[in-house]
Amino acid sequence: MSKLQPVRGTRDIFGPDARRFSHVVKVYQKIALAYGFEEISTPIFEFTDVFKRTLGETSDVVTKEMYSFADRSGEMLTLRPEYTAGIARAWMSGGLAQYGVMKLYAHGPMFRYERPQKGRYRQFHQLDAEIIGAAEPAADIELLALAWQLLCDLGISDEITLHLNSLGDSESRAAYRTALVDYFSDHEAKLSDDSRTRLHKNPMRILDSKDPGDRALLGDAPRISDYLNDLSKDFFGAVCEGVAALDIPYTHDERLVRGLDYYSHTAFEFITQALGSQGTVLGGGRYDGLIELMGGPSTPGVGWAAGIERLAMMLENTPDVPRAVTMIPMGEEAQMRALPLVRDLRAAGIRTLMDYKGNMKKRLNRASKGQARFAVLLGEDELAKSIATVRDLDSGEQTEVALDALVAHFQSGH
C-alpha cells in the first residue's frame, strides 16, 4: 500500500502553525465582538447557483476553480469558494432583514481548485466581516477600522498599506464601462485571449489581468476617477476623510477595481510586500447590488475577507503555550485522589497534565521534556499528611502544599 499523503493543496495544521492560526482567530473574535458584530456560521457547501449568480458565469472562480458536484438527488452543490454569497443567502432565507442593519463576522474554510502558492491552498481559511443594510459611508469606514485594528493587534500593520479606490455608483460605472470598451476595442488585437472575451462581457476585469501584453495597455487606459458623478465623489470623499480621522495610512489606487456590476463605491485591499507576489492579505468593498441580483430586495452591503494563513505567516512570534503543571501520582490510591485535584486545577484554567506510568525519575523526565514548569508529586507519604510535594522543574526547589490549597497555590503565581 502506498504511503498516504494529504491531497495536493491541502495541509495538516499542527504545532506552531496551529498556534499561529488559532491566535489570529482569537484576536479577530475579540475585536469583532468589541465592534458589535454578531457571529454567523454558514454551510460549507451551497447550491451551485448561489456562487454562479454572484461571482459571474465567466469568472475564473466559476469556470476554473469551484469544487462542484452532483449529490445523490442530482442537485448541483459547490464547496464555498468565498463567504459573502453564502452570508447574503442566509440573510435572505433566514429573514434577517427584520433585524435592521446586520453586522456579521465569520471564520472558516474555503475551497478553490488552483495552483498552490505561498500562503494559498486549495483548502484555505478566511476571516470575514459584513455589514448588510447600511448605505452610508460610515459603514465602509467602520469595516476599515475593524480591519486596521486587527492588523495592529496582530502586530503586522507596519508591513501593510491600505489601497483604496471608488468604483462609483451604477451611473458612473456605466459611463466608465463605455469608455473602457471604446479604448480596448481600439487595441483589441494586442489583448490576450481572456481579455478579448472579457471586453464586451466584463471590461473592468481587463484591469486585473496579469498578462504582460494587457498590462502594457493599462497606462493609457481611462481612469474611473474621470467618470465619477458628484454623488460618487462625495461618498468616496467621506470614506477617505473617515480613514484619515482614524490615522489609517492609505494610498488612492485608481487601478483597484472589481469586475462585477453589483460592486459599487468603495473598493479596498490591504497589501504587503512581506509575502512576495501574494501581497493582498485583506480585501473587500461595497456590493449594493448583490442581494437584488440574488432575487432579494434592493439592499446595500459592504464587507471584507482576509486569509488566515497569510496573516499567520506574518506573525513575528509564535504564541506560547502556557507551561503546564504535571500531576504525578504514585500508586492506585494516589491516582484516584489525583483525579479530582486535576479536575479542579483545570477548572481554574491551569493547564494540567497527568502522568500515569513509570517510576518517579521517568515521569519527572517526561514532565521536563514536555515543557512543564511544575510537577505535583503525590505518594503514600503525601496522602498520609493530605499534602502534595510541588517541585519547580526549573530550579529544583520543592514545597509542601495542602491538597485543598493546590488551586490557590498555582493561582497565586507559583
* Distance from the first to the final alpha carbon of the chain: 52
Boundary of a domain, candidates 282, 314, 346: 314
Cβ proximity of 257 and 224 under 8 Å? yes
Q: Give me the number of domains the chain comprises.
A: 2
Residue 1 has a pLDDT of 43
Cα separation, 399 vs 393, in Å, equals 12
Domain shared by 233 and 370, yes or no: no
Residue 181 domain flag? no
Boundary of a domain, candidates 314, 349, 366: 314
The CATH number of whichever domain residue 356 belongs to comes to 3.40.50.800
Domain shared by 382 and 263, yes or no: no
Packing angle between helix 84-93 and helix 48-55, nearest 10 degrees?
120
Give the global pTM.
Answer: 0.88
Domain shared by 104 and 64, yes or no: yes
- Give residue 292's domain range: 16-169+229-314
Domain shared by 304 and 330, yes or no: no
Strands (E), 3-71: 38-39, 45-47, 68-70
Domain shared by 28 and 79, yes or no: yes
Boundary of a domain, candidates 314, 343, 371: 314
Residues 391, 393, 394, 395, CA torsion sign: positive
Cα separation, 57 vs 26, in Å, equals 36
Domain shared by 44 and 94, yes or no: yes
pLDDT in tens, the chain (414 residues): 457 898 888 999 998 999 999 999 999 999 999 999 999 999 999 999 999 888 766 566 666 788 999 999 999 999 999 999 999 999 999 998 889 999 999 999 999 987 766 667 899 999 999 999 999 999 999 999 999 999 999 999 998 999 999 999 989 989 999 999 999 999 988 999 889 988 888 888 888 788 888 999 988 999 999 999 999 999 999 999 999 999 999 999 988 888 677 889 999 999 998 776 668 999 999 999 999 999 999 999 999 999 999 999 999 888 888 899 999 999 999 999 999 999 999 999 999 999 888 888 999 889 888 889 999 999 999 999 999 999 999 999 999 999 999 999 999 876
H-state helical runs in 275-404? 290-293, 308-314, 332-347, 360-369, 380-385
Domain shared by 292 and 240, yes or no: yes
Domain shared by 336 and 240, yes or no: no
The CATH number of whichever domain residue 23 belongs to comes to 3.30.930.10
Residue 208 domain flag? no
Cα–Cα–Cα angle for 121, 126, 127, rounded to 5 degrees: 165
Domain shared by 338 and 402, yes or no: yes
Domain shared by 336 and 259, yes or no: no
Residues 262, 213, 178, 236, CA torsion sign: positive
Residue 201 domain flag? no
Strand partners, 272: 160
Residue 77 has a pLDDT of 95
Give Cα 32 distance to the centre of its chain. 12
